[in-house]
Amino acid sequence: MTLQRPRSFLHLQEAALRWAPKQLQELYELGPQLGRGGFGTVFSGTRLSDGSPVAIKYVARESVLQWHELPDGTRVPMEVVLMEKVGSGCHNVIRLLDWFEQPDSILLVMERPEQSQDLFDILRQQGVLCEEAARRLFCQVLEAVRHCTACGVLHRDIKPENLLVNPETGSLKLIDFGCGTFLQERVFTTFAGTRAYSPPEWICLGYYHGHAATVWSLGVLLYVMVCGCLPFQEDHDIVSGQLWFRQQVSPECQHLIRRCLSKHYVERPELEEVLRHPWVWGGRL
């Protein structure tokens, strides 16, 4: 069971200038394609006013998962609304700088940390992370999630592909709010995200709580960091909850992962409990 990047199911235009609106071209210089995911293609770019590096995400209009209606009746992509809500106060969350709406597409202009690559590629190159490296990154993910929660935002797709890491400095940023929504206390009955990171209650019962599902995804993420593979591949694996560690992992780290991956959502720790866990602080149980 190895890490594999999901195959894209969209066939987007390769020639960036073909879809870039004139207004964007006046403000930004488009560069090569950086990557392609299930819901969009990301290009490098430069802000002409000051030479700052940016990332420009192209999303076909029909691929926008959710729209949010403003009080004046204007419909705005939910991803834009969420990124504006979390856009300040935490350096571990990517910032939205600008956005453009086209008849057939949406373009998001974001900050682009130089020298960074997503955690998926780092894990693919290294296999696994030592626990000290995993801890440094995981703590930054926790801070990003805490900030999103404080802003009333549920990301719903926390995974290595959505974490940008600078290998030299170790700084991390949470990206891609395309699956996100507003946080609510009542249960969610629709799912957006990556199936392998979904909690068992969604698969069995068709609903989930935002906080508990987030903690589950954090447990999957930490397992992937220290073991180099997914803990569960198929739905029946997720539901059974049988967990094996394929690498040498400390008892403290195993304890945190097992708690986050508790089959019953009421038994999972709150985010603040995760932040206080001995492994997160580098201590022993």
Is 118 annotated as contributing to ligand binding?
A: yes
- Is 157 part of the annotated catalytic residue set? yes
Give the SS3 label for residue 56: strand
Three-point CA angle 274, 222, 65, nearest 5°: 95
pTM tops 0.85: yes
Whole-angstrom distance, CA of residue 183 vs CA of residue 186: 9
Is 85 annotated as contributing to ligand binding?
A: no
Is 111 annotated as contributing to ligand binding?
A: yes
Residue 145 burial class via C-beta count within 10 angstroms: exposed 0-12, middle 13-18, buried 19 and up: buried
Alpha helices for 38-91 (secondary structure H): 78-85
Rg (CA), the chain: 19
Is 176 annotated as contributing to ligand binding?
A: no
**The pLDDT value given to residue 19:** 58
The answer to whether the CB of 121 falls within 8 A of the CB of 143 is: no
Residue whose tokens read 């602080």? 281
- Helix (H) or strand (E) segment spanning residue 106: strand 105-111
**The pLDDT value given to residue 18:** 53
Is 29 annotated as contributing to ligand binding?
A: no
**The pLDDT value given to residue 258:** 98
**The pLDDT value given to residue 148:** 98
98, 157, 176, 237: the catalytic one is: 157
Is 228 annotated as contributing to ligand binding?
A: no
Low-confidence ranges of the chain (pLDDT < 50): 1-17
Residue 186 CA to its chain's centroid (Å): 22
Residue whose tokens read 């945190």? 256
| Neighbour tally for 259: CB within 10 Å | 16
